[in-house]
Structure 1
Amino acid sequence: MNAISLQDRSFLARRRADRLLSGGRPQTVREALAALAALSDGPYPLDEPTDMYGNRIVRTLERRTADLLGKPDAAWFPTGTMGQQAALKVWADTHGPAVAMHPLAHTEVHERRAHQVLSGLHSVPQTAAPRQPTVAELAGLDEPFDVLMLELPLRDAGFVLPSWEELTALYDFAADRGVPVHLDGARLWESAPHLGRSLPEICARAGSVYVSFYKSLGGHSGAVVAGDEEFVRRIKLWRHRYGGKLWQQWPAVLSALAGLDTELPRLPDYVAHAKVVAAALAEAPGAWINPAPPHTHQFQLWLPHPAERLAEAGLRQAEEQGVSLFGGWREPGPQPGVAMTEVAVTAAALEWTPKEITEAMAGFLALL
């Protein structure tokens, strides 16, 4: 008999757990299909023909997203990586190929440097600090740049956002130099509470904005890039060139529309409760929360234990006690034996009180 893989063991443990703190319960294909079918009674254009190469229900999502972000138009992409490629390529064509981005930006770290390999772009590091750049740092760069990219929030720094005043200063700096701003807003949806402004206000001075539908909204996949009409016309050309003009995309698009209806309105509650969850977790011996308090509904939890031991303890707690607190652990820092997990506060976490969290955390650490 073949031993069950660690991935399958984790899937089964989280599915069977009575309570989850971080993230949602994983689904089977059958369950995901049933959830999609349940949308048949929703306010969606289900009686029109299926989409062909980006029309119909795809355009419905594009227009709705553009309205939510306060932009004239938007284009759907099957992946955010492709969407960002298209957006930055268009800016390179009109302004130049040098893009100022953070060394921890998703484009730099998680996309195999596609912007350089495929699109011939050149990244200019904004700052070495694990936070959003400052105007002084951008002004002091030795190398000129043609486009300013801001990842809001900066995931690998701990889902970190600037203040509204800091963001405004960055917009002012770019405008003074005639440099367009592109927002990597994969998780922009949950950024409004910290910034204290609406999504249209946050995006108003950005030339282009990318948002994701599966990271925080629970969609199957996909992304949208928004901007003015001419910009969107041009990124659609690059979407086709990059292989993103697909025959039919209605399942992913339908799940994205549902996420806008169900998850987007709940994100402020998640963000507020993330502060409660983080404060309770911080009481554990050696625990470190980054940032403290969280800027969004996601944050980093660090513990002075090896990732492998923490992962095994989490699996045991889920299997033996029916409680799943965290997802995966890794050791991204310079010090061995110090591990980090990303905590995502969603619907399941709203049921947890601080006392329950501290008790469950004590049970988790007891399994090390």
Structure 2
Amino acid sequence: MSDTAGMFEDEAAQEARVAPDPAVRRRRALAGARRTLVDRPRNLRQSLAALADGAEGAYDLDELPDRYGNGVVAALEDRVAELLGMPAAAFFPTGTMAQQVALRCWAGRTGIATVALHPLAHPEMYERDALSALSGLRGVHPTRERRLPTAAEVADLDEPIGTLMLELPLREAGFVLPSWQELTAVVAAGRERDAVVHFDGARLWECGPHFGRSLPELAELADSVYVSFYKSLGGMSGAALAGPADFVAEAKAWRHRYGGQLFEQWPAALSALAGLRTELPRLAAYVAHAKTVAAALTEALAPLPWSRVHPAVPHTHQFQVWLPFAASALGEAVLAQAEEDGVMLFSWWSEPGPPGLSMTEVTVASDALEWTARDVREAVEGLLRRLV
């Protein structure tokens, strides 16, 4: 190798050390932080160890692996049906597939291919028009407000609907929920229009404290419910669709047609059972502590114009924080604080609104329980010193 080539190679290596890949830098900062409001990522070795540890007590590990949905997968389906108080449940590799199948099945049964849902709902935002592209379904929007639709808005729709889909909580609007009275009223409005009701309950597990109701009481309002295993329970992947036994049997047939009849799914099923066993009982504590964290953030950010915690009192253990800085500046300040002070307060930032006004989502989980209100205020002060 020539001296010139070696010189350029040394410069490139030096530059990589000075300015590493942003994802690598963030991962290192998060791993090295002494205190983080953000859950720390695991490498593959740690993930394997966590799966083995969590599986103990969640299922009989002397049993054979599943084959095309029996064994541990069937046990998971029975457990979900029991927790939700529904007659049956089906495991799906993804929530997208579960909801596409659910809405397709209901359209076939009602004879109406129109689904009433929020424009910020997951099928409208993240599924590449799968409703229309795969099933020929069409969405209508009772409201464009950043909240769930009201009973009056559903009643005022000017065309027939086969299914009313409600995302609980509505993530893109700030993980917001209606009141119990509002929820029961909008469900009744859908039924008055002869529509079936489907809950996108990816995060339904943590909604009980807001409503003051149990999971079966919530699920009883709907004809079908989808739940996720990785969004709140810490599972690897996967989802379940619960509802009447004949509906679930039909959903399993469509699951096969959609390519969801996997040969073995025991890692995902085991991690889901572990999450139901360990994380589900903790969610109420996360929801309660989210209120403490949100109040401390609101207090610390009060002097900063255009800052906001939304909702001010979180409905679940997740909420939004909006700050009047560019996402790039916030990202750099967060990493610098983690590297220099060993404190990581926030994760990613985006600018979904006006330029220069950025948003992040806060999830209060196990690591966040260690934070007092004073810890939060001091961390915000340290972050703002790097920004203002």
1:277 aligns with 2:293: yes
Query: Distance between the aligned counterparts of 1:37 and 1:198, measured in 2?
Result: 30
Pairs within 5 Å for 1:238-257: 238-257=254-273
Pairs within 5 Å for 1:50-61: 50-61=65-76
Runs of 4+ displaced beyond 3 Å: none
State the Cα distance separating 1:40 from its structure 2 match: 5.1
Pairs within 5 Å for 1:86-235: 86-95=101-110, 96-235=112-251
The residue number in structure 1 matching 2:372 is 353
Q: Is residue 15–residue 27 contact of structure 1 (8 Å, CA) maintained in 2?
A: no
Query: Distance between the aligned counterparts of 1:37 and 1:262, measured in 2?
Result: 14
Query: Distance between the aligned counterparts of 1:92 and 1:39, measured in 2?
Result: 39
Summarize deviations over 1:18-46 as a string: whole Å, max 9, x none.
11113x11000010011112235324121
State the Cα distance separating 1:89 from its structure 2 match: 0.6
Query: Distance between the aligned counterparts of 1:307 and 1:41, measured in 2?
Result: 42
Provide the TM-score with structure 1 as the length reference: 0.97
Query: Distance between the aligned counterparts of 1:209 and 1:362, measured in 2?
Result: 42
Q: Is residue 124–residue 143 contact of structure 1 (8 Å, CA) maintained in 2?
A: no
Instruction: Tell me which amino acid in the other structure corresponds to 2:317.
Output: H
The residue number in structure 1 matching 2:351 is 331
Local SS of the residue matching 2:242? strand
Q: Is residue 147–residue 170 contact of structure 2 (8 Å, CA) maintained in 1?
A: yes
Summarize deviations over 1:55-108 as a string: whole Å, max 9, x none.
110000000001101101000000000000110010011112100000000110
Query: Distance between the aligned counterparts of 2:40 and 2:205, measured in 1?
Result: 21
Instruction: Tell me which amino acid in the other structure corresponds to 2:370.
Output: E
Instruction: Tell me which amino acid in the other structure corresponds to 2:261.
Output: K
Summarize deviations over 1:311-344 as a string: whole Å, max 9, x none.
11111111111111111000111x2100000000
Query: Distance between the aligned counterparts of 1:9 and 1:82, measured in 2?
Result: 34
Query: Distance between the aligned counterparts of 1:259 and 1:124, measured in 2?
Result: 35
Summarize deviations over 1:247-284 as a string: whole Å, max 9, x none.
00000110000000111001011001101100111121
Unaligned runs of 5+ residues in structure 1 are none
Mark the structure with the bigger radius of gyration: 2
Unaligned runs of 5+ residues in structure 2 are 1-12
Summarize deviations over 1:112-152 as a string: whole Å, max 9, x none.
12111111110011201000100111112223211000000
Please point out which of 312, 327, 335 is paired with 1:307: 327
1:263 aligns with 2:279: yes
Q: Is residue 155–residue 190 contact of structure 2 (8 Å, CA) maintained in 1?
A: no
Instruction: Tell me which amino acid in the other structure corresponds to 1:126.
Output: P
State the Cα distance separating 1:175 from its structure 2 match: 2.0
Query: Distance between the aligned counterparts of 2:123 and 2:381, measured in 1?
Result: 37
State the Cα distance separating 1:6 from its structure 2 match: 1.1
Provide the TM-score with structure 2 as the length reference: 0.93
Summarize deviations over 1:171-196 as a string: whole Å, max 9, x none.
21122222100000000000000011
Moved more, 37-46 or 270-279: 37-46
The residue number in structure 2 matching 1:74 is 89
Aligned CA RMSD, in angstroms, stands at 1.0
Query: Distance between the aligned counterparts of 2:167 and 2:249, measured in 1?
Result: 23
Query: Distance between the aligned counterparts of 1:198 and 1:105, measured in 2?
Result: 24
Local SS of the residue matching 2:207? helix
1:19 aligns with 2:19: no
